[in-house]
Chain A
Amino acid sequence: MLNWYANTFRISEKNITKAGLLRTKVFAWMMLMIVPLEMLGSDWIDNPKNLIISSLGAVAIVLSLIGWIALLLSPLVHRFWAPDKYLDEWEIEVKRKGMAAGYKVLFGALVIGLIYSAVFTEYGEATTKSLSYFRLDSLAFAVLILTFGIQTLVQLRLIRPIDQEDVEDEMQKGHSIWGRIAVVFAIFMLFFGPAFFQGLVDGWNESSTAETSQSLKYDGGASE
């Protein structure tokens, strides 16, 4: 399974050209656009009084989603999540350096959160300043995206681009896009599948309840 994953996302010469790296960097920055929005919370964006901020927020969300999907399809992201035994020496080095940088950012975010909670526990109104789970989830998601983005950007910075002329087109034939799409689909299903099916079941139940109430109404009318 992991061998298949490592092979599906094998880095080709085309990925590490100057243009390929630049494209991935742009996608990484696009994905990071969601971080400040997630940090500020949805109340701040869903403000009908401030249409400019709401529109900018909506654009940022769409761009971030595009960046996220493009990054998930990129071998430059997945390859470094494969186990070390399937990677080359330079890939292992880039992977570890990028992850070490991501860990520092993650640790920093945890320390800032810890200081915030210490200050508010001690000096704030601890009972009224409670967070909802929705808010906590959005903060966790923001930290996740931030560290993932930093890790990717550091890894991209460490890769030395090759010249466009050196790229052999035949190398690309071996790598199927379907494998990558399958992985992205699996990730999306993992996160959005349960909610989708839950919605489907709820919708089904609601429609059958509505039908029952309608038929009861009809029966009631007939008996009268």
Chain B
Amino acid sequence: MMKLYADLTELNERDINAKTLKRLRILSILSLPFTPLLGVMEAHILTSPVLIGLTIVTILVSAVALFMLCINKLVNRVWVRDKYLDEWELGMKHRAMAFAFQVVLYAICTVLFVGVVLDIFDKLDFPPITPMALGYALFSLMMLGLYAQIYTQFAMIEPMDEDEFDTESSARRSLKGVIVTSGLLIVGLILAPFVLGVISGLKNPEQSEIAILSHEAKTTCEARGSSVHWVSIAKENYGFACFDQNRPAPSDLDPKGTEQ
């Protein structure tokens, strides 16, 4: 498996010429807004539909750039085991990873200093951390490490001249590598949630009905300007209702979002 990964990410002259490196730099810059904008969207800061639309488009563009960056051979090469790498690659790997390690560790230390020592989260009365917020924080740290690693690699590589490489075989191998790596990445990303979904669906078939109904209730109630909704999946009373926060909860449920 590791041998296959090493073979797929084997670098050739094309991967480190000036044009490819320039393309990679552009991709890395394009992918930079992905993490902060995702945080902005999750925090529900934006209210204007135009701004929300623009943000979604930017997130999509940066997501594509990030995906292309993640399947690039140069980025993946540092994750190959040492025994498959040559001296130059080993030097690049260790230097890039050492720098990324320091960056992420300093970031964690800063968070700990702000959180534990200065006690800012408690003082500002922040709400407790949901798994979603935790995931976002971890993803941000991962991205920080990834960019530190990538930019160290860029700083270390001196691009090769165009005339020096043979185009035929390398182009074929490169295409094969990109297809297989992206295939593995997509399967890896989709397979785990898919299996979990199947297991969860088999265990609790009502779960999906609740999710669909909750989503429908949320969108309908929010469209009416009512922030609270109530969902019931009792066999006779399958439905939801929107009601004002200040009013008491309805004793009987009107189907399909009738205002109480």
Q: Is the CB of B117 within 8 A of A136?
A: no
Contact partner of B126 (CB less than 8 A), chosen from A106, A123, A133, A151, is A133
Q: Is the CB of B102 within 8 A of A99?
A: yes
Q: Is the CB of A131 within 8 A of B128?
A: yes
Interface residues of A in 130-149 (CB under 8 A from B): 130-133, 136-137, 140-141, 143-144, 147-148
Task: Note all chain B residues with C-beta closer than 8 A to A118.
Answer: 131, 135, 193
- The stretch from A11-19, A26-34, A50-58, A109-117 touching chain B is A109-117
Interface size class on chain A is 35 or more
Q: Is the CB of B93 within 8 A of A129?
A: no
Task: Note all chain B residues with C-beta closer than 8 A to A191.
Answer: 113, 116-117
Q: A101: shortest Cβ distance to chain B, in Å?
A: 8
Q: Is the CB of A130 within 8 A of B129?
A: yes
Q: Is the CB of A103 within 8 A of B128?
A: no
Q: Is the CB of B135 within 8 A of A121?
A: yes
Q: Is the CB of A132 within 8 A of B128?
A: yes
Interface residues of B in 77-125 (CB under 8 A from A): 93-95, 97-98, 100-102, 104-105, 108-109, 111-113, 115-119, 121-122
Prevailing SS type, chain B contact patch = helix
Question: Chain B 191-235 against A: per-residue CB contact (8 Å), 1 yes, 0 no?
Answer: 011001100100000000000000000000000000000000000
Q: B115: shortest Cβ distance to chain A, in Å?
A: 5
Q: Is the CB of A129 within 8 A of B113?
A: no
What CA separation (Å) do A34 and B66 show in the bound complex? 37
Task: Note all chain B residues with C-beta closer than 8 A to A195.
Answer: 117, 119
Q: Is the CB of B108 within 8 A of A190?
A: no
Contact partner of B122 (CB less than 8 A), chosen from A96, A110, A133, A151, is A133
What CA separation (Å) do A111 and B108 show in the bound complex? 15
Task: Note all chain A residues with C-beta closer than 8 A to B94.
Answer: 93, 96-97, 99-100
Question: Chain A 38-77 against B: per-residue CB contact (8 Å), 1 yes, 0 no?
Answer: 0000000000000000000000000000000000000000
A182 contacts chain B at the CB level, 8 A cutoff: no
Answer whether A122 and B193 are a contact pair too, CB < 8 Å, given A110-B138, A144-B112.
yes
Q: Is the CB of B101 within 8 A of A103?
A: yes
Answer whether A100 and B98 are a contact pair too, CB < 8 Å, given A115-B192, A123-B196, A191-B113.
yes
Q: Is the CB of A113 within 8 A of B102?
A: no
Q: B200: shortest Cβ distance to chain A, in Å?
A: 5
By beta carbon, the residue of chain B nearest A143 is B108
B145 contacts chain A at the CB level, 8 A cutoff: yes
B151 contacts chain A at the CB level, 8 A cutoff: no
Contact partner of B131 (CB less than 8 A), chosen from A106, A124, A140, is A124
A119 contacts chain B at the CB level, 8 A cutoff: yes
Q: Is the CB of A114 within 8 A of B142?
A: yes
By beta carbon, the residue of chain B nearest A119 is B196
What CA separation (Å) do A155 and B141 show in the bound complex? 24
Interface residues of B in 230-258 (CB under 8 A from A): none
Q: Is the CB of B101 within 8 A of A102?
A: yes
Q: Is the CB of B131 within 8 A of A194?
A: no
Identify 26 residue pairs between A and B in the complex whose beta-carbon atoms are under 8 Å apart, listed by A's number: A95-B98, A96-B97, A98-B98, A99-B98, A100-B97, A100-B101, A102-B105, A103-B97, A104-B97, A106-B145, A110-B138, A110-B141, A114-B139, A117-B132, A117-B138, A118-B193, A122-B197, A123-B200, A127-B130, A131-B129, A136-B129, A137-B115, A137-B116, A141-B116, A143-B108, A194-B117
